[in-house]
Structure 1
């Protein structure tokens, strides 16, 4: 495999900074985290390529740019409590943990859950807490959350997640009818008011659960 440090630097410079992401904490996290450890060994050489990669069970690790964009749009600060729906490989949660957040992440697929849990333990990322459950229900026992990020697309924003969002708070979720017609929606809660903003087209795997598909 090529030098991962150089690969990460090239990834950040050519795929992320070149597209306008400028949050220094986000850029530092993507420069620092060994993305190749979050994919299968056979795909490690493609870990820093400009696109998503399969991680098994019909799921994917998101394109580096999308991870960076969503992390920047969340506007997190160190010490914030963040809920992630759809742990997958654990890469997005690791990025947020590197940025100083206390991350609570929910995964519905057992194989991915146990693999991610081992990965976090091996990397000594103790600020990440995992739960095996229906992510569309959130994590009510641990709410409210300053930020919520959903890494799968549903037909609408699950109400339990809006309910568990702190005020003020920000929630990001892909919404749309099928993978080819999704938009990244930013939900902002402030002074009891909920405002939704379309942040552009994206393509994610389906959000499965009681409040998903």
Structure 2
């Protein structure tokens, strides 16, 4: 059902995902309504297809239904003082959705300390994603540091901004990186594809006492979470 959610507009795409019960919560629906996927793809005419798309440099933007699944699973940990890490942030699309989910919990108050940290090891994608975010009306959030987009090895996380209430990983790791588990807050949750030939989305939960549990969510097929050199060597446009 997930692959049948293609629409002719952003709203139709989201309504189809809601009918398919991929989007279940009003918060996720509202947040994704505020982020037009056409601003985050190379081919805007195909923006509302429910499929992954190449964005250059050997990277893809995940299918919309996978971003919806990620948002739904991380939702309990997305609040107005949460810190969120998006590894393999690509075009910046999910970074924007995650920000909207944080912002709807009280953007105006003095206690609003939410932050999304996005990391990708391709400098060109980092620059492009910042342009995308600005074009989508999030320039102030970038300038104020509420959204931070950096180039680096996401497998190592970004420890200086952690710990993170929620971590999303947008490429498949052979195993869950220890650094990301260490940077997960207690309590906190990670949504990560794991595996090589056979991949599964794993939900990694850390409780208030620091105990870590893992739960397989669904079978998937993601590009590998690798280093910059290997990704560049396999570049596809």
- So what's the TM-score if we normalise by structure 2? 0.81
- CA–CA distance in 1 between the matches of 2:226 and 2:213? 24
Matched, 1:102 2:102: no
Identify the residue that residue 144 of structure 1 maps to in structure 2. Answer: 163
Aligned with 2:68: secondary structure?
Answer: helix
Q: 1:80-129: per-residue Cα shift (whole Å, max 9, x none)?
A: 11011011000010100111252101110111011112222333421310
> Is the 1:9–1:31 contact (alpha carbons within 8 Å) kept by the matching residues of 2?
yes
1:208: Cα distance to partner?
1.0
Count of equivalent residues: 204
> Is the 1:120–1:128 contact (alpha carbons within 8 Å) kept by the matching residues of 2?
no
Structure 1 runs, 4 residues or longer, greater than 6 Å off: none
Query: Which stretches in structure 1 are left out of the alignment for 5+ residues?
Result: none
1:7: Cα distance to partner?
0.9
- So what's the TM-score if we normalise by structure 1? 0.90
- CA–CA distance in 1 between the matches of 2:161 and 2:148? 11
Matched, 1:199 2:199: no
Which of the numbers 124, 134, 145 marks the counterpart of 1:111? 124
- CA–CA distance in 2 between the matches of 1:145 and 1:184? 19
> Is the 1:172–1:186 contact (alpha carbons within 8 Å) kept by the matching residues of 2?
yes
1:189: Cα distance to partner?
0.3
1:10: Cα distance to partner?
1.1
- CA–CA distance in 2 between the matches of 1:8 and 1:89? 17
Identify the residue that residue 34 of structure 1 maps to in structure 2. Answer: 36
- Name the structure, 1 or 2, with higher relative contact order (CA <8 Å, separation 6+): 2
Identify the residue that residue 191 of structure 2 maps to in structure 1. Answer: 172
- CA–CA distance in 2 between the matches of 1:140 and 1:77? 20
